[in-house]
Amino acid sequence: MKITGVTQHHVEHAMDEPFHPTWIPGYPQATHEAELFEIETDAGITGLAASPSFAGGLDYEDQLSYFLLGEDPHNVEGILRKLEGFNLVGPRPWHVEHALWDIIGKDAGKPVYELLGAESREIPVYASTGQVIDADERVDYVQERVSEGYEAVKLRITEPEHTEIVRAVRDAFPELTLMVDANKGWAVRVMDEERQWSFAEALTVARELEEIGGIGWLEEPLPRHDFEGYARLREATDVPIAGGEFNNGAWQLREHLTHDSLDVLQPDAALATGIKRATEIAAMARQHGVTFVPHTWTNGLGFVANLHVMTAAGSPWCEFSIDPPWTPAVRDCFLTETIDHEDGIITAPEGPGLGVELDRNQITDE
Ligand SMILES: [Mg+2]
């Protein structure tokens, strides 16, 4: 089988009202954007992949074609090595590898998790927020999630004093597992500069979370390459420390493991690794006694790729992003069906490949 074509679409979906992501400080996000790729083959099978996008997008269809045309999509390792070169000269290409697995699975009539040597598995979801909002409003939000079956919620904080939001939610829900994301690992600085925390501030937050109790993990309190800082923090607190969602390539995740930086490793298969490298990193994490719970906040295709990975990797939680106006329907806006959980439990689609289909009505550039 040979790859015969690469087609890129920029997709853009308007949200009901602006969303204020902590990772783009000061930016009112009005649309969900993605760069969507269809990788065509001479067998008539097309694979899908998508990258998050922003501000009208970036066109790299021609450049990717140069790396992919004529290759056998089954040669995932060989193509990944070519994509390592693309990573030097262009945008991060890890999402593109998802299309190869989609093709291989469609060709074999098997879901990706089965290609990865796994069986279907039920995974508890945690509700993942993306904004800092007032404690009262957040307590109402959590009430809704609890009534939908979630047993864990991840709250955002950007300043140490935002632990008061965590405390308010804890007071209202004494039994709920709470994750806390500081989002200091990376940021898209187009509006405001985000304020990094000093090590002392990160430690103060961790100690306060220890006291609040029932904390699943504290996520990204420090920059994503501060492997030593993470290791020191992990040593100094009992709260599990998580990170790695946006490190670039497998070696940076390996650095987190060799430095004993983290309790929970979170590389996103769409942003950091691709599917094959994600499973390799997950195996390495297991050998280090580190839990593997990938970040999933991109789009429906990125989400489902990570869902197959966590099915194979045995992840104890699945990040399910929901913080209106951001909803699962917005996340999956260019798929025919929204991938949902049932009473707090999710399973990967059982259809061939990634197991999802494009809603062509959402593709307005053809
Ligand atoms: Mg995060």
Contacts of 247 (CB under 8 A, 6+ apart): 224, 225, 253, 255, 256, 267, 272
Residue with tokens 């937050």: 205
- pLDDT at residue 364, rounded to an integer: 80
d(CA 362, CA 366): 10
Burial status of residue 190 (CB atoms within 10 A of its CB: 0-12, 13-18, 19 or more) = exposed
Q: How far is the CA of 210 from the centre of ligand 1 (A)?
A: 19
- In this prediction, residue 191 carries a pLDDT of 86
22 CA → ligand 1 middle, Å: 10
Whether domain 123-346 has CATH 3.20.20.120: yes
Q: How far is the CA of 180 from the centre of ligand 1 (A)?
A: 9
CA distances from 230 to 175, 220, 261, 362 (A): 28, 9, 5, 42
| CA 220 to ligand 1 centroid distance, Å | 7
> ∠57-23-248 over CA atoms, to 5°?
70
Residue 113 has pLDDT above 90, yes or no: yes
* 43 alpha carbon – ligand 1 mean position (Å): 39
Question: Residue 83 Cα, ligand 1 centroid: separation in angstroms?
Answer: 25
- Pull the structure tokens for residue 75: 């040669």
Residue 34 pLDDT grade (very low, low, confident, very high; cuts 50, 70, 90): very high
Measure 203 CA to ligand 1 centroid, in angstroms: 18
Q: Of 169, 167, 137, 131, whose CA–CA distance to 153 is shortest?
A: 169
The contacts of residue 286 (CB under 8 Å, 6+ apart) are 292, 314
> Rounded to the nearest whole angstrom, what is the distance from the C-alpha of residue 124 to the centroid of ligand 1?
18
Residue-wise pLDDT tens digits, 128-144:
999 999 999 999 999 99
Q: How confident is the model at residue 207 (pLDDT cuts 50, 70, 90)?
A: very high
Residue 172: is its pLDDT beyond 90? Answer: yes
Judge contact between 138 and 165, C-beta under 8 A: yes
> What separation, in Å, do the N-terminal and C-terminal C-alpha atoms of the chain show?
26
pLDDT of residue 192: 84
Q: How far, in Å, CA of 166 to CA of 209, rounded?
A: 8
Mean pLDDT of the chain: 97
> How confident is the model over 334-339, as a mean pLDDT?
98
Answer with the residue of higher pLDDT: 363 or 42: 42
Q: What is the pLDDT of residue 201?
A: 98
Contact 204, 242 (CB under 8 A): no
CA of 242 to the centre of ligand 1 (A): 9
Calculate mean pLDDT across residues 34-41: 98
264 CA from centroid of ligand 1 (Å):
12
Q: Where are the domains of the chain?
A: 3-110, 123-346
Average pLDDT of span 295-313? 98
Across 181-192, average pLDDT = 92
CA of 6 to the centre of ligand 1 (A): 31
| CATH architecture, domain defined by 3-110 | 2-Layer Sandwich (3.30)
Ligand 1 centre to CA of 245 (Å) is 7
The mean pLDDT of 84-108, rounded to a whole number, is 97
Calculate how far, in angstroms, residue 90's C-alpha sits from the geometric centre of ligand 1: 24
| Closest C-alpha among 124, 80, 107 to residue 310 | 124
CA of 12 to the centre of ligand 1 (A): 23
Average pLDDT over residues 220-241: 98
- State the Cα–Cα distance between residues 156 and 21, nearest whole angstrom: 10
- The residue with tokens 């008539």 is 44
Domains 3-110 and 123-346 equal at CATH topology level: no
Please tell me the predicted confidence (pLDDT) of residue 118.
98
